[in-house]
A and B are shown apart, each in its own frame.
Chain A
Amino acid sequence: MARIVDDDQRMFMTGNEVLAWAALAAGAEIMYGYPITPQNEIMHYWTRLAPRFERGFLQTEDELSAGFTTLGGVMAGKRAFSATSGPGDILMQEPICMAEMMRIPAVWIIQQRGAPSTATVIYGQQETRLACFGGNGEGHRVVYSTSSHQELFDYLIKAFNTAWSYRFPTILLGDGYQGKMREAVTLYNPEDHGVKLVPTEPFVGRPGVPGVDRAPAHYRNTFNIEEEIYEIVHAREEEFEALTPQIVEFESGYLDEAEMILIGHGIVSRAIKEAVKLLQNKGVKVGYFRPVTLRPFPVEELRKAVEKVPAVMVFESALGQLLSMVKEAVGGLPVKIEAFLRPGVGICTDEAAEQVQEYLRKSSMVH
């Protein structure tokens, strides 16, 4: 695979461009896609760069097709991916379900937007639940929620490796803000940073005549009776749980002696980290916890972080999607759960800090 840059390059660019370059760096061989804002520029830059780096592209008739053609590309043994948003994300769930059940290592980029409108293309975190549990399955997929351009680059490379290492479909969950905003990022060749690209292999079309030189490849996602699926879903769950310690990622800070822990994912986690620093400077003892992987969710890590804390506050640009995951994770612990929920709307550092101070002021008045 050709090197994308001579050596590490510090650049200033939009998130969608970063993702196109990250896919090149990750050795992605083909993209399948359909126009939808706010991910269009991933396709625009991929189509501009693909001939130069000898990569492929197919614009399909819709996202269902983009999702399933991606599965075809992966089963042919290629590092294939797709990118979508909003209503397109909904259509992608059927191919993602097939990938979950058949362990097809496809990679999706999802740039969330305000929902459930057919427009509102700017920003949201309302596809959190869909990214994690969309479809009629049990959420056997890996979801990375990024918060900066550097993470878009790093985690897209990681997403391909995770997918091909563990054979679970892998999603990079961003949003329109991350796609469109500009910031500094270091582009690099993975091998220069000790990141080895996990080799791919074809599911079908291997050398030899099936039934003569080798056993034929027979793949299916069809089962006769529910008892059969019961066994398989349990087996999937066991495998997924066994892999969780290897895959799960989180970030936390200032947990010691915290009166409250702020929880958020994706770009919102940037605001809460800054809010925590702001409050710490004022002498307010607060900490933060950010799940980087939403699937698998860092349950043990979160429980450990909040076991001695009186309260947590969940921040998200949705109406309780992360909140329900947090509630489930910390179930049984004597921690009070507060939330600041803003569907489709961003959260700034100062308003996060204000919410926390307001809560602490009220709760100290009660005591």
Chain B
Amino acid sequence: MGEVFLGEYGAGKSEVSAGRAILLAGRGLPVTVADLDLTDPVFRISQAAEKLAAYGVKVIGWPERYPPGMGEAGNVLFPGLLGIGWLSGEIIIDVGYGTESHRLLNLIPGLAALNPLFYFVINCRQPLTATVPGIIEAARRVPGIHGFVNNTHLGKDTDLDLIKSGAEKIEEASAATGIPYIATASFKPLAAEMEQTDYKWHEIWPLYGLVHGSFPIK
């Protein structure tokens, strides 16, 4: 099975991909993450490869500290990604932002064999997806979305009310588009609190902040 994570620039696709991978690996499934983010040499899920390895998750992408494109940009495709269509187990594909970035999947032969589900990650605290019409417009730019993932947050200023305000907008956008609202993602402590509430968060996907601290600062 394959799951593809798409969304606006900085919506949290990589962080959500990492959280989803850990969740699936925790169920005893073999999980591989494919780093198809061709935007930046930084803030990539492959920089969290070592941390993900601790959860039994494999990552395919440029090795950490190996700057693709000789550091000029992140925009060189890692050749190993061409083979992911033939891998077994759960394959999670983290796609970077960009004009028609969903079409990056054209680069992966054999993708159809994975029967991938396309998840659209939304942070309602981003200007372009801050309103219901904004979410609908952003989702329309990407054909074939199977589900929304709510990743509404304000970094360390996030609380349950804020996530809920995002959830309500996504519910509305879901009703208008017919695209199901699949899950709500949040950092682990808040995800634990969520479970205590009677609000319908759909599935809860805990996040671990693995990509967040991956800036190669030293």
Direct contact of A and B (CB under 8 A): yes
Contact bitstring B150-174, A, C-beta under 8 A = 1, else 0: 0001110100000000000000000
Q: Does B40 contact A (CB under 8 A)?
A: yes
> Roughly how many angstroms separate A180 CA and B217 CA in the complex, as a whole number?
13
Instruction: Identify which of B10, B72, B217 contacts A13 (C-beta below 8 A).
Output: B10
Judge whether B125 and A180 touch: CB under 8 Å.
Answer: no
Residues 7 to 59 of chain B near chain A (Cβ within 8 Å): 9-10, 40-43
Q: Does B71 contact A (CB under 8 A)?
A: yes
Min Cβ gap B8→A in Å is 9
Judge whether A10 and B70 touch: CB under 8 Å.
Answer: no
Given contacts A12-B154, A180-B43, contact A120 B127 (CB under 8 A): no
Q: Does A233 contact B (CB under 8 A)?
A: no
Contact bitstring B46-80, A, C-beta under 8 A = 1, else 0: 00000000000000000000000111110000000
Judge whether B72 and A119 touch: CB under 8 Å.
Answer: yes
List residues of chain A with CB within 8 A of the CB of B72. Answer: 37, 118-119, 121
Contact bitstring B99-134, A, C-beta under 8 A = 1, else 0: 100000000000000000000000101110010000
Judge whether A121 and B126 touch: CB under 8 Å.
Answer: no
Q: Which residue of A lies closest to B43 (CB)?
A: A180
Residues 174 to 210 of chain B near chain A (Cβ within 8 Å): none
Q: Does A360 contact B (CB under 8 A)?
A: no
Q: Does A276 contact B (CB under 8 A)?
A: no
Judge whether B41 and A122 touch: CB under 8 Å.
Answer: yes
Instruction: Identify which of A21, A119, A345 contacts B218 (C-beta below 8 A).
Output: A345
Given contacts A10-B154, A11-B125, A12-B126, contact A181 B215 (CB under 8 A): yes
Instruction: Identify which of B9, B43, B154, B218 contacts A348 (C-beta below 8 A).
Output: B218
Query: Which of the listed residues A12, A183, A345 has the most CB atoms from chain B within 10 Å of its own CB?
Result: A12
Min Cβ gap B78→A in Å is 18
List residues of chain B with CB within 8 A of the CB of A45. Answer: 9
- The B interface is mostly helix, strand or loop, or mixed, namely loop
Q: Does B143 contact A (CB under 8 A)?
A: no
Judge whether B217 and A346 touch: CB under 8 Å.
Answer: yes
Judge whether B130 and A9 touch: CB under 8 Å.
Answer: yes
Query: Which of the listed residues A5, A9, A13 has the most CB atoms from chain B within 10 Å of its own CB?
Result: A13
Residues 105 to 120 of chain A near chain B (Cβ within 8 Å): 114, 117-120
> Roughly how many angstroms separate A11 CA and B154 CA in the complex, as a whole number?
7
> Roughly how many angstroms separate A114 CA and B67 CA in the complex, as a whole number?
14
Instruction: Identify which of B127, B154, B157 contacts A187 (C-beta below 8 A).
Output: B127
List residues of chain B with CB within 8 A of the CB of A41. Answer: 9
Judge whether B10 and A182 touch: CB under 8 Å.
Answer: yes
**Number of residues from A at the complex interface, CB < 8 A:** 30
Min Cβ gap A75→B in Å is 32
Contact bitstring A178-197, B, C-beta under 8 A = 1, else 0: 00111110010000000000
List residues of chain A with CB within 8 A of the CB of B40. Answer: 180
Min Cβ gap B134→A in Å is 11
Given contacts A13-B126, A14-B9, A121-B41, contact A183 B155 (CB under 8 A): yes
List residues of chain B with CB within 8 A of the CB of A12. Answer: 10, 123, 125-126, 153-155
Judge whether A21 and B127 touch: CB under 8 Å.
Answer: yes
Residues 1 to 35 of chain A near chain B (Cβ within 8 Å): 5, 9-14, 17, 21
Judge whether B127 and A9 touch: CB under 8 Å.
Answer: yes
Min Cβ gap A314→B in Å is 19
Residues 34 to 83 of chain A near chain B (Cβ within 8 Å): 37, 41, 44-45
Q: Which residue of B lies closest to A176 (CB)?
A: B42
Query: Which of the listed residues B41, B43, B99 has the most CB atoms from chain A within 10 Å of its own CB?
Result: B41
Min Cβ gap B184→A in Å is 16
B residues bordering A, Cβ < 8 Å?
Answer: 9-10, 40-43, 69-73, 98-99, 123, 125-127, 130, 153-155, 157, 215-218
Interface CB pairs A-B, < 8 A, 16: A11-B125, A12-B123, A12-B125, A12-B154, A13-B10, A13-B126, A37-B72, A119-B70, A122-B216, A181-B215, A183-B155, A184-B155, A345-B217, A345-B218, A346-B217, A348-B217
Extra contacts besides A41-B9, A118-B72 (5): CB < 8 Å: A9-B130, A11-B154, A12-B126, A121-B71, A122-B71
What 8 A-B pairs have minimum CB-CB distances, sorted nearest first? A119-B72, A119-B71, A346-B217, A12-B125, A184-B154, A14-B10, A37-B73, A182-B10
